A = this chain, B = another copy of it.
Amino acid sequence: MSIKTFLIGSPIESVKEKHERVSKFTGLAVFSSDALSSVAYATEEILIVLVLAGSGMIHFSIPISIGITTLIAIVAISYFQTIHEYPSGGGAYIVAKDNLGDNAGLAAGSALLIDYVLTVSVSISSGVAAVTSALPFLHDYTVVLCVASLLIITVINLRGVKESGKIFSLPTYAFIFAIFVLIGFGSMRLSSIPHIEHPKVVQTYSSVMMIFIVMRAFASGCTAMTGIEAVSNGIRAFRPPESRNAGITLTWMAVILGIMFMGISLLTDRFHIMPSETETILSQLAKAIFAEGFFYYFIQGTTFLILILAANTSFADFPRLSSIMAQDGFLPRQLANRGDKLVFSNGVIILSVVSAVLMVAFSGDTHELIPLYAVGVFLSFTLSQSGMVMHWRKNKGKGWVKHLIINATGAATTAVVSVVIAGTKFIHGAWMVIIAIPIIMLITKKISRHYKSVSRQLSIDNAEPEVEYVHHSVIIPISGLQMAVLNAIKYAKAISDDVSAVYVCLDPAVTMKLKIQWEKYGMGVPLVILESPFRSIVEPLMDYIDDVRNSYQKGVITVVLPEFVPMKWWHHLLHNQTAIFIKGIILFKQGVVSTSVPLHLRD
Interface of A: prevailing SS? mixed
Name A595's closest neighbour in chain B (CB-CB).
B595
Does A338 reach chain B (CB closer than 8 Å)?
yes
Name A10's closest neighbour in chain B (CB-CB).
B534
Name A594's closest neighbour in chain B (CB-CB).
B596
Per the 8 Å Cβ criterion, residues 564-603 of A in contact with B are: 564-566, 571, 573-576, 583, 587-588, 590, 593-603
Q: Which of A14, A460, A599 has the most CB of B within 10 A?
A: A460
Chain B neighbourhood of A14, CB < 8 A: 506, 532-535
Does A362 reach chain B (CB closer than 8 Å)?
no
Does A278 reach chain B (CB closer than 8 Å)?
no
Does A70 reach chain B (CB closer than 8 Å)?
no
Per the 8 Å Cβ criterion, residues 9-32 of A in contact with B are: 11-15
Contact present for A593 and B598 (CB under 8 Å): yes
Given contacts A483-B465, A593-B596, whether A576 and B15 have CB atoms under 8 Å apart is no
Chain B neighbourhood of A601, CB < 8 A: 453-454, 457
Compute how far the CA of A598 lies from the CA of B496 in the bound complex, rounded to whole angstroms. 19
Per the 8 Å Cβ criterion, residues 455-472 of A in contact with B are: 457-460, 462-463, 465-467, 469, 472
Contact present for A595 and B598 (CB under 8 Å): no
Compute how far the CA of A334 lies from the CA of B576 in the bound complex, rounded to whole angstroms. 6
Does A239 reach chain B (CB closer than 8 Å)?
no
Contact present for A599 and B332 (CB under 8 Å): no
Q: How far, in Å, is A536 (CB) from chain B's closest CB?
A: 8
Chain B neighbourhood of A12, CB < 8 A: 534
Which listed residue (B487, B534, B583) contacts A13, Cβ 8 A?
Answer: B534
Does A486 reach chain B (CB closer than 8 Å)?
yes
Does A396 reach chain B (CB closer than 8 Å)?
no
Compute how far the CA of A340 lies from the CA of B534 in the bound complex, rounded to whole angstroms. 7
Compute how far the CA of A230 lies from the CA of B11 in the bound complex, rounded to whole angstroms. 62
Does A244 reach chain B (CB closer than 8 Å)?
no
Number of A positions contacting B (CB below 8 A): 72
Chain B neighbourhood of A332, CB < 8 A: 573-574
Chain B neighbourhood of A496, CB < 8 A: 495
Compute how far the CA of A558 lies from the CA of B575 in the bound complex, rounded to whole angstroms. 25
Q: Which of A11, A334, A486, A535 has the most CB of B within 10 A?
A: A535
Name A593's closest neighbour in chain B (CB-CB).
B597
Name A590's closest neighbour in chain B (CB-CB).
B600
Compute how far the CA of A563 lies from the CA of B588 in the bound complex, rounded to whole angstroms. 11
Contact present for B599 and A458 (CB under 8 Å): yes
Contact present for B458 and A487 (CB under 8 Å): no
Chain B neighbourhood of A15, CB < 8 A: 533
Contact present for A603 and B457 (CB under 8 Å): yes
Contact present for A490 and B467 (CB under 8 Å): yes
Chain B neighbourhood of A533, CB < 8 A: 13-15
Chain B neighbourhood of A463, CB < 8 A: 483
Q: How far, in Å, is A515 (CB) from chain B's closest CB?
A: 15
Per the 8 Å Cβ criterion, residues 316-341 of A in contact with B are: 332-334, 337-338, 340
Compute how far the CA of A517 lies from the CA of B459 in the bound complex, rounded to whole angstroms. 12
Does A188 reach chain B (CB closer than 8 Å)?
no
20 A-B pairs with CB atoms under 8 Å apart are: A14-B535, A15-B533, A332-B574, A340-B535, A340-B536, A450-B566, A450-B571, A454-B601, A458-B482, A460-B481, A460-B486, A466-B487, A467-B491, A469-B490, A472-B494, A495-B496, A495-B558, A558-B595, A588-B600, A593-B596
Q: Known contacts A454-B601, A462-B483, A469-B491; can you find 20 more A-B pairs with CB under 8 A?
A: A11-B534, A14-B532, A333-B575, A340-B534, A451-B574, A453-B601, A454-B566, A457-B601, A458-B483, A458-B484, A459-B483, A460-B486, A465-B486, A465-B490, A466-B599, A467-B491, A469-B490, A495-B495, A565-B587, A590-B600
Closest 6 CB pairs of A and B: A458-B482, A495-B495, A595-B595, A11-B534, A469-B494, A453-B603
